[in-house]
Structure 1
Amino acid sequence: MSIATDIEEHRAHLVSVGYRMTGSLADAEDAVQDAWLRLNRLSDEERARIRDPRAWLTTVVGRLCLDRLRSASARRESYIGPWLPEPLVSTADEDDPLAVLVREEEVRMAAMVVLDQLTPPQRVAFVLHDALALTFGEIAQVLSCSIATARQHASRARRAVAAAHPPPRAAAAEQLRLLTAVADALSRGDTQSLVALLHPDAVLVSDSGGMTPAARREVYGADKVARLLVGLSQRYGEDLVAGWAPVLVNGEQGWRSGGHGGAPESVSVFSVRDGQIVAIYSMLNPAKLAAALDRTDRPVF
C-alpha cells in the first residue's frame, strides 16, 4: 500500500483525533500533514516494520498535538475572556466534508469544553485510551513518560470528565423545537418565556478574545442568561437577526447571527438536559469564526 493511500484511508480518523486533542481543526489538519511528511521520510525498510499504519499515524498525530496543546496553554494565559474550541460549522448535507466528523458524540461542543479543562497530557491520554483504545504502553511513548504515569494521566482525566457529566446529544427534533422557541421569545422580548426554556443551572459562555463586545466571564443562572440575551436582542434589534440562519455546530443545531450594522457576528450552539437548555456556547472571536465559516465552502478531508 502506498504512503498516499495510507494517509487518505485514515485521514478522517486522524483529523478527528487531532481536533479532539487540540480543539482546533487547523491544528488537526496541520498535525495530519506533518504525520504524512514523517511517514514519507521513512525508508522502505522502516515503513515495512510498521504493522498497523493507522495506529502508527495515530500515535504520531498524538505526539504532534501534544506539542500544540502545550503551546496553546501558554497562549491562553493572556487570552481575554472565556476560551471555546473552534466550532465545526457544517450543513445537513451528507456530502458536506465535515459530515463524518460531526456525527461523533465526542466532538459535540459540551464534550469538547470538558476536554479543554484537562492538562495537555491528561487530554492526550484520555483521547488515545478511552476513545481509541490504545494501550498505556503506546500512550507512554507519545507522552514520553512511564506506563504508570500514562495510566495516571488517563485516570485523572476520566474522573474529571465523569464529574463534569456533559449531557449527551439531544434528538434533532428537540434541538429544533428549542431553537425555534428561543428565537420566538427573543423576537418578542419575552424574558419569562426564555427563562422557562433554560435549565435553572444554565450557563452562557461567550468567546470573543476581547476582539468584540461580549461577556468577559461565564454567565450563570436561567434568569441572568435570559436577561442578557433579551438585552442584546433589544440593543441590536434588527441588526442582530438580519444575518440569522440555522446551522449545525459540532453536529448539533445552532445558529449564526449578527454581522450587520453594529451587531457582532457570532455562531452559537446549546446543550440540552431534561428538556431544557443547560448551556449556550457563543463564538464571537473573528479569527476563530473566519476559520470555521471558511470551511463551509471548501473541502476538509
Structure 2
Amino acid sequence: METDKLTRFQAERGRLFGLAYRMLGEASEAEDVVQDVYLRWARSESVDVPEAWLTKVATNLCLNRLTSARARREQYVGPWLPEPVFTADGDFGPLETVEQRDSLALGVLVLLERLTPPERAAFVLREAFDYSHREIAEILDVEESHARQLYRRAREHVGEPRKRFTASVAQRTKIVERFVAATVEGDVEGLERLLAEDVVSWADGGGKATAARRPVSGRADVARLFSGLQRHPRAANATLSIELVNGDPAVVVYESEVLTYLFVPEVADDRIVAVRVIANPDKLAFAVRQRR
C-alpha cells in the first residue's frame, strides 16, 4: 500500500512542483511545498480523488507561504525577480497552450506579484492547469461566483495575453543570438536595432552580486549598458550559451565553469522589450542543481 501511494505521488510530483513554482516564483520554496505535500499524503487515510486532494493541499500550503514571502520581498535589496529555471526537460506541468507557456515566463511571474494570494491561485489554476471555476472554488473553499471574480480580477491586473508567442522559439532564439553577438562585439547600433524603444532592463543581485539596483530604461541606455559588458575584467573568463529558461531562449553565463548570470530577454513583435538579469547566487542555486 505504501508503495502504491509513493507511485501515485511520483506521478503527480511534476505537476505539483509546476503549480507551486508558479504560485511562489521560487523553485526552492516549491520543492519544500512538494515535500510537505508528500508528508501529508503519506499520513492520509482513504482519499477518493487523489489528484484533487493533492492539488488542494499544495495550493493551501502556497497560500500560507505567500503571506510571509511578500513581507520578505519588501525588504529585498534592489529589484526582485523570480528564481529562474531551465525548462527544456518539461518538469513544470503542461506547456501545450499559449496560456500554459506564458504562465511560466519571468515577466508574467513578476506581474503575479501584484495579486493577492487567492487571486494568484485562481489565475495559476485556470491559466496553467485549465481548472474550471467550479474546481477552483472547491480548492479555495469559496463559492463558484467568488472564484470567477478572483480570476477576473487577476486577469485584469496581469493584462491581456501579449504577443510574446507570435514568434516561434526558433525565431526568438535567432533574435537572442543576435543580441549576444552585438553584446560580445560591443556593437551599440546593433543592439539598438534589436531593442524596442521602451525596453527596460532589470537586474537582481540581491545585494550579493554586482548588479544595478534600479531599472535601466530606453533603447539607448540599455544598448550602452550591454555593449559595455565585454569590457568588464571578468568577461575574459566567461563563456556563454543559449538555453531555454522559463520557456524563453536565454543567455547563460559561466565564469570558470560556474553559473554566475542569466540574461533572459523578452521578445515581442521581433524586438526585445525587456531583459531580466539574475545574478544573486541564491536565486541561481536551483538552476545550478538542474545542470548537475
Q: TM-score, normalised by structure 2?
A: 0.86
Q: How many residues align?
A: 286
Percent of aligned pairs with the same amino acid: 38
- What pairs up with 1:79-228 in 2 under 5 angstroms? 79-89=76-86, 96=89, 98=91, 104-105=100-101, 106-136=103-133, 138-140=135-137, 142-143=139-140, 147-162=144-159, 165=162, 167-168=164-165, 170-228=167-225
Moved over 6 A (4+): 99-103
Moved more, 11-20 or 116-125: 116-125
For the residues of structure 1 that align with 2:234 and 2:42, how far apart are their CA atoms?
Answer: 55
1:86 Cα offset (Å): 0.7
State the secondary structure of the residue aligned to 1:243: strand
Q: Is the 8 A contact 1:114 1:166 kept in 2?
A: no
Structure 1 residue 167: deviation in Å? 2.5
Which residue identity does 1:209 align to in structure 2?
G
Alignment-derived partner of residue 58 in structure 2: 61
Q: Does 1:267 align with 2:269?
A: no
List runs of 5+ in structure 1 lacking aligned partners. Answer: none
**Residue 286 of structure 1: CA displacement?**
0.9
| 1:206 to 1:16, Cα distance in 2 relative to 1, 3 A | same
RMSD: 2.8
Query: What's the CA shift for 1:37?
Result: 1.5
> How does the TM-score come out when normalised to structure 1?
0.84
Letter of the aligned partner of 2:207 in structure 1? G
User: Does the 8 Å CA contact 2:18/2:92 hold for their aligned counterparts?
Assistant: no
Equivalent residues of 1:12, 1:101 under 8 A apart: no
Q: Does 1:284 align with 2:279?
A: yes
Q: 1:132 is aligned with what amino acid?
A: F
**Structure 2 residue identity aligned to 1:68:** R
Equivalent pair of 1:200/1:222 in contact (CA under 8 Å):
yes
Does the residue aligned with 2:291 lie in a helix, a strand or coil? helix
| Aligned ranges 1:228-239 → 2 under 5 Å | 228-236=225-233, 238-239=235-236
Q: Does 1:254 align with 2:254?
A: no
Indicate how the Cα distance of structure 1 residues 169 and 253 shifts in structure 2: closer, same or farther if over 3 A, else same. farther
Amino acid at match of 1:270: P
Separation (CA, whole Å) in 1 of partners of 2:217 and 2:63: 32
Match of 2:23 among 21, 24, 27: 21
Indicate if the aligned counterparts of 1:213 and 1:264 stay in contact, CA closer than 8 A: no
Residue 40 of structure 2 is aligned with which of 20, 38, 42?
A: 38
Provide the C-alpha distance between the structure 2 equivalents of 1:171 and 1:275, rounded to a whole number of angstroms. 10
Q: Does 1:244 align with 2:240?
A: yes
